[in-house]
Structure 1
Amino acid sequence: MDALSPAGRTAPGPRRAVIVEECDNPSTSFFILPALASLGRPIARHSFADLPAPEELDGALVVLVRYAPTDWVRLIERTRHRLSGLVFFMDDDVLDPAASRGTPAHYRFKLWRLAARRRDWLWAQKAALWVSSPHLLEKYAAWKPRLVLPEDRPTPGQSPETAGERDVRRVFYHGTGSHNPDIRWLRPVIGSLLAARERIHFEIVGGRSVAKLYRRLPRVTVVHPMPWPAYRPFATLAGRHVGLAPQLDSPFNAARSHTKFFDITRSGAVGVYAPGSACAGVVEHGVDGLVVPMDPAAWVEAIARLAFDDALRADMLENARRKAREISWLARQGHERLFDAEGPEDA
């Protein structure tokens, strides 16, 4: 059955693609925009409150990015027969409330309100499911999902070169509230690292709780969370050397994709990654990054080695940039196949 057309009917290619997103965000930038570019059709982007007239959806492929907000649910119910197709994309396990245990309560409620409670509705609407990781592909196999690989497209005006001060080594971790367990795990690692190496400075993204957790450590900059359009140019500012991607073993982390590899490489840094993570699946240890067991002492040693061995880091950064281009090329190869996807069987 072709889930890109209602009731299993074969339909011509979409006239246009309509992206429904909360705001400009990394999920759309890494996954959806590159995938839809392969269609060669006009692309419109709409926020939750930005509802088009029903006739604007005639022959359109509607892609819900992570969430299915109420106003769009109602609009789609009225216009489903007019759509070329309906897709739900997720790059975290947002459809299973149990997967988000351990994340902040307000975030778990948001996932339930905008995603998990819509699971039966998406199935009834015969929405195609696009996912970002093999874990999600396997977990939701009954839905016949399609794997969307991320592609890294440079921000206009972005330079791939960085030039940090030679006497300072900047280590960073940029995560959101959903990474709180990893942020807490990282605290003693950074404490030991800063105590042993005075030339290392640490940068982390977070709100009050993160600032409180790290406030007693010297040479720590806590950057307030920012929207994706502001973060992208911020992440490319010169002067970062080592990017961190710790990942504890949890159902929520198991569903993550390898976009942190893109973030770290784009910043001009080389990453230290957790084994078993999606990033570790694309990184070759010692070649384009370091894959280090989640042992604090091992992370302190690996970060210091990478920070102060300039020749090693330069070689690995070149390799990482090459790897990022290769991954993006593979993503482009897979985008066209997305539009032949099958959806859930009729109940």
Structure 2
Amino acid sequence: MMLIPALIERQPPGKPTADLNGMAPSVFNGMAPTPTPFTVVQVGSLGVIGDNVYRMHEPAAAMARLPNVEVFEVHALARDWDAAALAADVLVLTMTMDVEVFRLVHQRRQLGKPTVCEVNDYLPDVQPWNPAHRSWADPRARRLFEELIRRCDATQVTTAALAQRLAPLAQRLAVFPNQIAQLPPPRQRSSNGELSDEARQVVVGWGGSIGHMEDLRAIAPALGRWLQGQPRARLEIMGDPALAAFFADVPRQQFRFHRAGPLPHYLAWLGSLDIGLAPLLTTEFNRCRSDVKFLEYAAAGVTPVLQRLDPYAGVCDGVTGFLFSDQEQLLSIMDQLIADPALRRQVADSAYKQVARQRRGDDHAARRIAFYRELQGGCRAAMEPLPAALQRAGTRPLHSLRGARQLAERLFRLDLSTPAERHLAAGMDALQIGALERAMGEFSAAVRLDPSDPHALTFLGHCQLRQGELLAAREAFEGAVALDPLLSRPVRALARLHRQAAEHYGRVAHGLNPFESSGSAP
């Protein structure tokens, strides 16, 4: 990118230079101006479960370690989340299912800025036993999911199988597999291939969410019988207490259950395993899962024993893991591994080395940023004049956002940091389960603590409308529009409110004077 020295030299000494060629203003001291940072905003729930860590937090940190890149992680209910979304060079929506995001995608396109949709599971196919099934059984959720993928400039996914499933919907697709941010040191093993005392039990383990309930139930009876014939083996399960019931008949000395906890707790527990299991039923949802179980086992020095299904297509059977198609094959592999400690060590070491070579997060961050920059280069701002409020929002410095917390030199987080934001989040939770009175109380508290928040005011208006408080609802919606004229939700609500009023008064007029309402009156 060429500078324009003649224009720079015309600036009075000691004054900031103009913003030329994408460069940030700086004091001219004979050196080139500092390049404007490339900003990425990732919007999501900011939780601590695996998906949050592998798909949001760790990629954000890796990208922020690249030169001249700033990354902001933003909670989807943070006070200024939509301001951050409009200001970013690239916006990544991490499974954010809200009709208001379509407004943001449209406004960003007007500004000439790309938006990316992150999809880590094919949730419309989620199994009935998964807690997420209730939400995704709603046809409206599926429509939002598909429409968001269609409207975004690109969609990024975890696996090739998921990319293939979404290909008819997405404008562009990129596969960014899960990676490891910090690889633990190699496990220390004794010369005979055992991890410690040769007399100890061989520990076989599985850990996961209740969403895997039927995957685990399918192998539980056969695994229980196998344990009774293998006194040197012990099974450990980490997860929901309901999963322990599948192994009620296993001898106590051969079974341990651990309640699920934060991801670091789970990863530390993996270090105590010798063999890690990953059973999966042959469902369309499971075909689109990631290979995170392999990644975690391999990084912990555990021998992976995995279902022969799409997520583990990259595993070399017998070299970096073992693949099974049915229960008979699973138990045969287990017998082999119990009898041959050297084989367990060899495969576990090969899996670890593969992850060390190919799956470190910092080694893949540049590819992700290159993809985002390519998207940015292909976008053009709208030709027609834009509203002044949208122009201001598109150029707002991200560092000016309230509550932005600095995590590293170029990594920031905008979370639910104020009582008002937490009341808003609690109101949304209550609204989703139909607790209208509780939701209204939470939104009222949010508005009382932060009267300038148009989101809280809008949702308070929705509660008032459902309670029949039409005048209060109208005032709330009009107040939200006055606070932020770029929001579409309160405007849509006002349109519905006025349409309902027009229909009501039309019926009243017809009752009073049918001739007039027929259109025949002079």
The TM-score range, normalised by the shorter chain, is 0.7 to 0.9
Residue 20 of structure 1 deviates from its aligned partner by 2.4
Residue 240 of structure 1 deviates from its aligned partner by 0.9
Q: Is 1:225 the equivalent of 2:260?
A: yes
Give the alignment's TM-score, normalised by structure 2. 0.55
Residue 201 of structure 1 is matched in structure 2 by 234
Residue 6 of structure 1 is matched in structure 2 by none
Residue 4 of structure 1 is matched in structure 2 by none
Check 1:297–1:198 CA distance in 2 against 1; reply closer, same or farther (3 A cut): same
Contact 2:117 2:155 in 1 (8 A): yes
SS in 1 for 2:132: helix
Check 1:75–1:224 CA distance in 2 against 1; reply closer, same or farther (3 A cut): farther
Residue 49 of structure 2 is matched in structure 1 by 25
Higher RCO, Cα 8 Å, sep 6+: 1
Summarize the alignment of residues 135-214 of structure 1 with structure 2, pairs less than 5 Å apart.
135-142=161-168, 143=170, 144-154=172-182, 158-161=184-187, 163-166=195-198, 167-214=200-247
Give the RMSD, CA atoms, in angstroms.
3.2
Summarize the alignment of residues 20-169 of structure 1 with structure 2, pairs less than 5 Å apart.
20-22=43-45, 23-32=47-56, 35-36=59-60, 37-38=62-63, 40=66, 41-52=69-80, 54-57=82-85, 58-65=87-94, 67-70=95-98, 73=101, 76=104, 80=108, 84-94=113-123, 97=124, 99-104=125-130, 106-111=131-136, 116-123=142-149, 125-142=151-168, 143=170, 144-154=172-182, 158-161=184-187, 163-166=195-198, 167-169=200-202
Letter in structure 1 aligned against 2:260: P
Check 1:17–1:193 CA distance in 2 against 1; reply closer, same or farther (3 A cut): same
Check 1:263–1:123 CA distance in 2 against 1; reply closer, same or farther (3 A cut): closer
Question: C-alpha separation between the residues in 2 aligned to 1:123 and 1:298?
Answer: 39
Contact 2:105 2:115 in 1 (8 A): no
Residue 332 of structure 1 deviates from its aligned partner by 5.2
Residue 300 of structure 1 is matched in structure 2 by 331
Residue 173 of structure 1 deviates from its aligned partner by 1.1
Question: C-alpha separation between the residues in 2 aligned to 1:55 and 1:333?
Answer: 26
Q: Which runs of 5+ in 2 are unaligned?
A: 1-21, 24-35, 189-194, 379-522
Identical-pair percentage: 19
Check 1:204–1:164 CA distance in 2 against 1; reply closer, same or farther (3 A cut): farther
Residue 335 of structure 1 deviates from its aligned partner by 2.7
Residue 215 of structure 1 deviates from its aligned partner by 2.3
Residue 319 of structure 1 deviates from its aligned partner by 0.9
Residue 315 of structure 1 is matched in structure 2 by 346
Deviation per residue, 1:234-281 (Å, 9 max, x gap): 43x3x21000111221111110121111111122211111223321x1
Deviation per residue, 1:30-52 (Å, 9 max, x gap): 34456553473222223343343
Residue 277 of structure 1 is matched in structure 2 by 310
Question: C-alpha separation between the residues in 2 aligned to 1:78 and 1:227?
Answer: 37
Check 1:306–1:200 CA distance in 2 against 1; reply closer, same or farther (3 A cut): same
Check 1:137–1:197 CA distance in 2 against 1; reply closer, same or farther (3 A cut): same
Residue 115 of structure 1 deviates from its aligned partner by 5.9
SS in 1 for 2:231: coil
From the CA coordinates, give the structure whose radius of gyration is larger.
2
Question: C-alpha separation between the residues in 1 aligned to 2:357 and 2:141?
Answer: 32
Residue 26 of structure 1 deviates from its aligned partner by 2.4
Check 1:83–1:266 CA distance in 2 against 1; reply closer, same or farther (3 A cut): farther
Residue 16 of structure 1 deviates from its aligned partner by 2.1
SS in 1 for 2:359: helix
Check 1:100–1:56 CA distance in 2 against 1; reply closer, same or farther (3 A cut): closer
Out of 263, 284, 301, the residue aligned to residue 251 of structure 1 is 284
Check 1:332–1:305 CA distance in 2 against 1; reply closer, same or farther (3 A cut): farther
Residue 288 of structure 1 deviates from its aligned partner by 1.5
Check 1:211–1:126 CA distance in 2 against 1; reply closer, same or farther (3 A cut): same
Runs of 4+ in 1 over 6 A off after TM superposition: 11-14
Contact 1:59 1:83 in 2 (8 A): no
Residue 128 of structure 1 deviates from its aligned partner by 1.9
Deviation per residue, 1:174-217 (Å, 9 max, x gap): 22122122111120232122101112111112323212222221
Residue 101 of structure 1 deviates from its aligned partner by 3.1
Count, aligned residues:
322
Question: C-alpha separation between the residues in 1 aligned to 2:309 and 2:344?
Answer: 23
SS in 1 for 2:281: coil
Letter in structure 1 aligned against 2:206: Y
Residue 426 of structure 2 is matched in structure 1 by none
Contact 1:18 1:61 in 2 (8 A): yes
